[in-house]
A and B are shown apart, each in its own frame.
Chain A
Amino acid sequence: MKVGEVLPPLEIEITRTLIVAGAIASRDYQDVHHDADLARAKGSPDIFMNILTTNGLVGRYVTDHFGPGAVLRRVAIRLGAPNHPGDTMVLTGSVEEVDGDTATVRILGANAIGRHVTGTVTVTVPAPSGTAADARAEGGAA
């Protein structure tokens, strides 16, 4: 875990199923997340992913990379270009700051029409047992 460490990109197919499943799993029944006709009536070309799903995907992206021991401390995201069905979002990230066992990761999720999400995730990654001192030294030096 070093400043500048780049997380491998994660491609997420934005299917209608993902948008609806994410909305319902987050108990968000706003019609723009499941009803294309009503979404259009409100000025959107189609349904779009809700912010809670984006938040969940960003969290997953970071914990997938740092492993099941990683603990999310803070997720701060801003939405831009909406995630519509048929698009693909590519999540990328890089470690921007390291303080001891805690890293701040800058995240970008880009789709075909622009930046869907930008933000930062703060995550604590306990050092594997036996190397805690090394990890602290490394973190402190970063």
Chain B
Amino acid sequence: MNGRGGDESSRTGEGDGLAERLKGYEGRPATTGGVGRDPVNAPMIRHWCEAMGDTNPAYRGPDAVAPPTMLQAWTMSGLSGHADRPGRSAVYDELFALLDDAGYTSIVATDCEQEYLRPLRPGDEITFDSMIESVSGRKTTKLGTGYFVTTRMDIRAGDELAGTHRFRILKYAPAQRSPRAPGVSGSASDTARTGNTGAGARRPRPVVNRDNAGFWEGVGRHHLLIQRCADCGTLRFPWLPGCGACGSLDWDTVASGGEGTVYSYVVVHHPPFPAFDPPYAVALVELAEGVRIVSNVVGVPCDEVRIGMPVRLAFRRYDEELELPVFHAAEPAGTGAGGEG
């Protein structure tokens, strides 16, 4: 998953060891005695206000104060990086290197909490100290899997505390992207939507292997095939190599008649995933044959899905290569199932 060589992956391993080592950074200083690259100054304030479209007169003229939300900007090292800056502790770089080496190479800011205790004015010399407040456990997000790192910074003007700044970033390994990813084809404006709304994004592909290939072959013919033990006759679903009742490895299949009831369900509102359009109902459907299957109840408002609701099998095509069994509310008259086209 980290896109590096096998040696790297095995060396940095993804076991509990990494999480523990990351936890060890909590409470340690990230910056000690940091100094702002420039004192608070009118040109940087003006550039900020121009960018933000902020015409507040408090930020102009002889009595100008800096926009309070610029707080962090005074601590940024800029294009030249941190290498020659005072105060930056090796600890923070170590933490990032550890995450980089484990494949969590991307970074995105997620939270910023600032308190402003005293206005900053042109001429104020900025100093700052920060510490690593917390490192989360490994989290899976829409962007990818990674760790949240929270730092807390005190920012001073001269000897006076001017503000505090809590900042949270996600250091992550980018999620796998479709082979039709932006940059290969498609315009930026098309793809800006694709990654996030699902319009044009494709559903995850099923993992087809020798143990379940027969099921997917059945789906291709619009049959929902249930495995049946050739020795004891027990039905099983999802597909498995052996019988859970008697252990036999011999089996054949029966095609479901398509009748079922909602055994349980959830309605997914959040988080949104590419190719999925919330809200949608994920149901555990108990087939008339007695086995249960996880699927979607479609064609019915989500808030009308109920436990015990009769449903009927259909096959829905999602793209040129993916067709999946889904369930509709059963028609009272028992009209046939079949593909949705």
Let me know if B137 is at the binding interface, CB within 8 A: no
- Total contacting residues, chain A, CB less than 8 A: 53
Prevailing SS type, chain B contact patch: mixed
Given A28-B76, A78-B111, A37 and B183 touching (CB < 8 A)?
yes
A52 touches B72 (CB 8 A): yes
Contact segment of A1-9, A57-65, A101-109, A131-139: A57-65
A55 touches B69 (CB 8 A): yes
The chain B residue with its CB closest to the CB of A36 is B188
Q: Within the assembled complex, what's the spacing in Å between the Cα atoms of A18 and B79?
A: 19
A43 touches B52 (CB 8 A): no
Let me know if A114 is at the binding interface, CB within 8 A: yes
A26: which B residues are within 8 A, CB to CB?
48, 70, 72-73, 76
B68: which A residues are within 8 A, CB to CB?
59, 71-72, 75
A45: which B residues are within 8 A, CB to CB?
182, 188, 191-196
Give the Cβ gap from A9 to chain B, nearest Cβ, in Å.
15
Contact segment of B5-13, B173-181, B328-336: B173-181
A51: which B residues are within 8 A, CB to CB?
109-110, 112
A30: which B residues are within 8 A, CB to CB?
107
Given A26-B48, A86-B192, 17 new contacts (CB under 8 A): A25-B52, A26-B76, A27-B73, A27-B77, A27-B79, A37-B183, A43-B174, A50-B109, A56-B54, A58-B69, A59-B67, A60-B53, A68-B58, A76-B111, A76-B114, A77-B113, A79-B108
- A binding-site residues for B, Cβ under 8 Å: 12, 18, 21-22, 24-30, 32, 36-37, 40-46, 50-53, 55-60, 63-64, 68-69, 71-79, 81-82, 84-87, 112-114
